[in-house]
Amino acid sequence: MTDEQARLRAVDPTRSVILQAPAGSGKTTVLIERLLVLLAQADAPEEILAITFTRKAAAEMLARVSHALKLPTALAQAVRERSQARGWRLAENPNRLRIQTLDALNRALALQMPLAARGRGGLGVLAQPASAYRSAARRALLDAQSDAQLRPDAQLLFERMENDFGRCEKLIADMLEKRAHWLPYLVGDAAGQLATRVAESLSDVVGARLVHAQRLLPVSLLETGVRIGGEAARHLEARAAEVGLWCEFIVAEAAAAPTLRQWQALATLALTVAGSWRKRLDVRAGFPPEDAALKRRGSEWVADLAAHPGALELFNEILLLPEPALSADETGMLGVLARLLELAVAELELVFSELGRVDYPAIAAAARAALGTTQEPTDLALRLDSRIRHILVDEFQDTSLEQTRLLELLTAGWAPDDGRTLFLVGDPMQSIYGFREAEVGMFLGARSTGIGSVPLESLSLRRNFRSTPQIVDWNNQVFAACFPQVDDPRTSSVAYALSSAARAGAAPGAVHLHRHLPGDISGEARSIARTVGQLRAAQPQSSIAILVSARSHAAPIVAALEAQSIAVAGVNLVALAQLSIVRDLMALTQALDHLGDRSAWLAVLRAPWCGLRLREISALLGTQRHATVWERLADREAVATLDEAARARVRRLHTTLAPHLERAAQAAASGRETLARRVETAWLALGGPAACAQETDLAHARAFLDALAQWSE
């Protein structure tokens, strides 16, 4: 199917579609066009729900839709006429367009269920929930030790963790962070079936990996390995203690589908202990010197395996696979963990109640509870079922298990050909949000089986409108070799999809690689600056973009460019903590928070509002290392050792901060003044704004003080 045909089917308002659209293929254009097509025939704009991954993306989509509605196109005209006929007034009221993030949708649903927000301050979100997880885990362990029924469970867990309380706490805290994955299986009767479900899942996972292994490697290669292994095993029969897995080969010779142990025997035959291909086959592996033919065949077989793409990774994975069944001991331990985790979840609810805030999984769970189940929907779910007729999801490759479950609930009542549609678009090759529980396997699963009861037509785009043919071809060549050969939802493995350049005959381009030693950050930055200088000299009118994998990597590059007087434009290039104005404010914050923080007070003396040199600081402190810096500032004899200019700066610092510290101590004791307010007041009194070298420093200072205020709350 051509791209043009795929685009036409993707915007068809009668089809439910999942569209794979690589970077530069115009996926957002397709999504907006479909949204306009739906608006042109909708009874109300609220019937259409467009979901994005971030607030920035939602704002950009709303802006693009608003812009598209103003264009002189037939589709935009149809929407404008529909808006006028129905009284929508979209031009004056674009907020009627339901374009929002999944997190915002979860929150809106949860707030419609009164019990979900009880005692939680309106479902405010914790920016850093890790401390809440640790607190709940610690409480659960301490409560379990004092509970007669749970004490044996806690003791067994401590025993398995070598009586390391910290490890046990971290284990439970990490599980609480991922509770959306396992909590549904601990509710009600599901807890009693947990061991059975885990055993079945384990067997399915191992079985699927073995089937995948059989498909990946040629049958002739496996049969050859089994025959060679069988002969090697017979050489070892006289030394039973050394046979180990080799005996599996004798059984495998007559087996149609090798078992896990037989596969592991095959991997052990081919690999060293370090996980690399064997270069020598000796008598310890069943290859005696007198059987030269067997050694030659074995070496040739290993060489054939090594030449097969993916075989090394496959065999190393197989060696790590567990037995596809739970032992009695493992089943018992699973029950222990289930009971302790149930207690930890209850403790986490109490922690959230005390903090008046929750995490995103709690909001998602509250949203799902507000909708009920697919079999027993709530009144809210039924109302939404009648109101929402079309759902569009952008960047679907970055959705999580929780978010996919929400889509299943929202579409639970949909029936084939009832006029309601689901449109998912994304690129599994670009899934990057694993740290937020995004699972690219959700995209692969939806493509093959749909979402809940909604089947999806799978479409894909291939043409790249963004890059020149040289760049597209280079990406095809390099990344086709880096990605797996086939999709695998279980391991979230995604095969590379080739792109074709739409900009035929465009300006010539090229890809050049510049290599540097690992860790040579400054050398890399200088090289980038030198390359930018050369490009500007050759093409003065061209724009140059520099991409970094993390914001922290930008600082040395910015410094290297500025050293060559090359102007840099960017957003949030350098982290606040790396800016001199913020480092000074951090030192002032720590100094005001604790008079004994020597390092912070020394930094205050060095800051622009005081500006002492190192030799002056050394003279001021003298040899009395037991005294605080603040005490030395108040010591007239110590201050007298400085020259007149330094004495004036020290006196000004002390005079300015003394009354402030006294008032701050009183305010802090009464709780009337926050740390952020005390820091800002002191900074202003010291003349901090006047010491800023650039206007941007004031913005950075405000950003720090705002962040400090939020942290203080």
d(CA 216, CA 311): 8
Please give the radius of gyration of the chain, using alpha carbons only, rounded to the nearest integer. 33
The amino acid occupying position 396 is F
d(CA 677, CA 470): 56
pTM for the whole thing? 0.68
Helix (H, G, I), strand (E, B) or coil at 420: coil
18 φ/ψ angles, rounded to the nearest 5 degrees:
-120, 120
For residue 290, the tally of other CB atoms under 10 A from its CB is 10
* CB within 8 Å of 20: residues ≥ 6 apart: 426, 427, 428, 443, 447, 458, 459, 460, 461, 497
**For residues 130 and 82, is the Cβ–Cβ distance under 8 A?**
no
Domains of the chain: 3-106+362-461 (3.40.50.300), 218-307 (no CATH), 468-510 (no CATH), 521-574 (no CATH), 577-712 (1.10.486.10)
pLDDT score of 118: 45
514 φ/ψ angles, rounded to the nearest 5 degrees:
-120, 115
**For residues 489 and 525, is the Cβ–Cβ distance under 8 A?**
no
**For residues 232 and 291, is the Cβ–Cβ distance under 8 A?**
no
| CA torsion, ordered 210, 211, 214, 216, to nearest 10 deg | -100
> What are the distances in angstroms from CA 678 to CA 29, 295, 662?
50, 78, 11
For residue 319, the tally of other CB atoms under 10 A from its CB is 13
d(CA 206, CA 706): 51
| Number of alpha carbons in the 13 Å side-chain half-sphere of residue 541 | 0
pLDDT score of 165: 93
pLDDT beneath 70, residues of the chain: 113-123, 187-192, 237-257, 432-438, 490-492, 505-507, 569-575, 625, 663-673, 712-713
pLDDT score of 372: 82
Q: Which residue in 433, 431, 497, 485 sits closest to 461, CA to CA?
A: 497
Handedness of CA 229, 232, 237, 240 (dihedral sign): negative
pLDDT score of 134: 95
